[in-house]
Copies of this chain bind each other. A is one copy, B any other.
Amino acid sequence: MTELFDDLSPSPRLLMGPGPVDVYPRVLRAMSVPMLGQFDPEFTEYMNEVMALYRQVFRTQNHWTLLVNGTARSGIEACLSSLVAPGDTVLVPQFGRFGFLLSEICGRVGGKIETIETDWGTTFPVDQIADAVRKHRPKVLAMVHGDTSTTMAQPIEGLAEVCREVGTLLYVDATATLGGMPVEVDAWGIDAISAGLQKCMSGPPGTSPVTLSEAATEAINTRKHIEGGIRPEGYVGASGPRISSNYLDLGMLMDYWSPKRLNHHTESTSMLYAARECARVVLGEGLDAGHTRHALASDALRAGLQAMGLELFGDEANRMANVTGVYIPNACGNGEAVRAQMLSDFGIEIGTSFGHLAGKIWRIGTMGYVCHKPNILRCLSSLDAVLRRNGYDAPVNAGVDAAYKIYEGAGQ
């Protein structure tokens, strides 16, 4: 018997976890636009526009600015597996869960991994990373920008100098920061960077913007290769070791995004529409204005949480501007009852954490479309009410009042 289930009808949610978050209505609408063929001139023009839009989002002049058709993780893997060949040394400074991910991806493709570590909740002084680069002289320095697992943002500025000095390529994972904090690809000298849509770009997870410097492009082109079945007679690929993935081979993706339009996958039409619209919304507001909005919302949220007597997690100096870690008060055990009631009774999702922070901190996201005063106030007042029912009494109205005060101080 055929079982078809019901029409999609999700409950209304306010997504204030570490992502995915609520999607801009314009982006939701873009995804319901009808298909075009992948080689339709109108569609390839949209691909070119996406390249131009993400150059602006990434603040770069890089020609090769394109989408990898998968979630943010696919963009990370496309960059790293295209750059790192078996035996290449990669330095991964780890300050949270996603540093482990970068190490793992590079290890799987045969990279020789060197790491430095710091306590979760802290980041590295730039000098410490520079010393490690000089010591290991890696082919690639692979760096998470904002690690949502710890809510910390690693300063990237200043790393390119030492990378140039020893001939290292600088890769940055900006999944969680792009659109929410400054990400200055050219000014910071980043060679390869990937992101997702589902955080501060306020789109759906499912496609990953990537941009590559000339140096990164050259490195990838030493491994370039055209697929059997579409290669010209007598074709010989580049001499470097073949990239272990076909799907995530950035050399092939560049051919597909070039005027050659050499067929690879079939570009994910609806996700490209979404990515295009995300960029148009974010650039329409203005990157700087967006960053200010995120910083202000975080200030308000943090002031509110502290006024409620809660303790924030991690070094203040390098907190991300779009997600806040807060210790779960003792009265609330591992915090899961509070999270469940926030969701079921107030329609608000907040996050737990990973590894040794699971059950110790909640993570409250203020990303993209979500990151507006009414949502900050709604989150604080709801949390106040739920905590009260779970044995933790904050001073009456203190959280909301403190947040109001921050917004009023900013004239809002």
Contacts and interface: CB of A to CB of B under 8 A. Distances in A.
A152 interface: no
A32 interface: yes
B245 A280 contact: no
A105 B246 contact: yes
A245 B107 CA distance: 10
A125 interface: no
A216 to B, nearest CB: 19
Interface in A26-51: 28-38, 40, 42-43, 46, 49
A246 B28 contact: no
Contacts of A40: 13, 343, 349
A2 interface: yes
Interface string A268-286: 1111011011001001101
Nearest to A36: B10
Give the number of copies in the complex. Answer: 2
Contacts of A35: 10, 13, 15, 20-23, 204
A78 to B, nearest CB: 9
A198 B268 CA distance: 9
B37 A20 contact: yes
Contact of A77 (B32, B247, B273): B247
SS class, residues of chain A in contact with chain B: loop
Contacts of A263: 354
Nearest to A103: B228
A270 B280 contact: no
A225 to B, nearest CB: 9
Contacts of A3: 52-53, 56
A266 interface: yes
A38 B83 CA distance: 30
Given A36-B13, A71-B265, A265-B71, A245 B244 contact: yes
Given A4-B283, A22-B35, A244-B244, 15 more contacts: A3-B52, A10-B43, A23-B270, A29-B32, A70-B74, A72-B266, A77-B245, A77-B247, A96-B229, A101-B227, A105-B246, A149-B229, A205-B267, A206-B268, A230-B355
